[in-house]
C-alpha cells in the first residue's frame, strides 16, 4: 500500500495590505512545519506579491483567479479540479485545508501524516477523518466525480 501524501489547500481573498500580511503569516507557518507539504492556493482580489525564495518556490503554488471575488467553495472547486486534472491528486492523496488567516502549529502536518501512516499500516482504509481541522481523501466515485469537500 502506498504511503499517504498530504497536500494543503487554501482559498484566499486578499482585499487589503493587512489581509496580505495575514496571508503571508499563514504561508510562513506552513513553510516552518517539521513535515513540509505542498501548498496550493487559489487567490482572488489584490495581486499577491510574494517574494519566492528557493524553499518556498518548491512547495507553494499560487493560482490567481481573474474574478475580483469568489466564494470559498468556488476557489476549492477550481483548485481541486486543476490539481486532479494535472495528476497532483492521486489515490493516496489527503488534503488539509487552511484558511488564509490560519497560523499552524509546527507539528500539524507531521501529526496528521503519522496518523494516516498508522491507519495504512493497520490495513484500515481512511476515507474521511473528522479531526480538529478538516482533512478528506480525494477519490473518484463510480460516476467519475470527485468526492465532496467537508461532508
Q: What is the pLDDT of residues 68-108, one digit of tens each?
A: 889 888 999 999 999 989 999 988 888 888 888 888 888 88
C-alpha cell at 27: 504561508
C-alpha cell at 79: 483548485
User: Would you state the pLDDT for residue 138?
Assistant: 47
First-to-last alpha carbon distance for the chain, in angstroms, is: 25
Whole-angstrom distance, CA of residue 134 vs CA of residue 149: 9
Whole-angstrom distance, CA of residue 40 vs CA of residue 98: 10
Whole-angstrom distance, CA of residue 125 vs CA of residue 55: 33
Q: Mean pLDDT across the stretch 20-31?
A: 90
Cut 0.85: pTM above it? no
134-137 β-sheet, strand order: 60-64, 38-45, 5-14, 93-99, 134-137, 128-130
Amino acid at each position: 500500500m502506498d504511503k499517504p501524501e498530504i497536500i494543503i489547500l487554501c482559498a484566499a481573498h486578499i482585499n487589503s495590505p493587512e489581509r496580505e500580511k495575514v496571508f503571508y503569516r499563514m504561508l510562513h507557518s506552513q513553510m516552518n512545519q517539521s513535515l513540509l507539504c505542498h501548498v496550493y492556493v487559489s487567490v482572488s482580489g489584490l495581486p499577491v506579491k510574494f517574494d519566492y525564495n528557493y524553499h518556498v518556490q518548491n512547495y507553494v503554488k499560487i493560482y490567481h483567479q481573474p474574478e475580483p471575488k469568489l466564494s470559498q467553495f468556488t476557489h476549492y472547486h477550481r483548485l481541486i479540479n486543476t490539481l486532479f486534472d494535472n495528476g497532483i491528486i492521486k489515490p493516496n492523496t489527503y488534503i488539509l485545508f487552511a484558511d488564509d488567516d490560519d497560523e499552524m502549529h509546527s507539528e500539524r502536518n507531521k501529526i496528521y501524516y503519522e496518523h494516516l501512516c498508522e491507519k495504512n499500516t493497520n490495513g484500515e482504509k481512511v476515507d474521511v477523518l473528522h479531526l480538529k481541522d478538516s482533512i478528506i481523501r480525494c477519490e473518484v466515485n463510480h460516476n467519475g466525480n470527485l468526492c465532496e469537500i467537508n461532508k
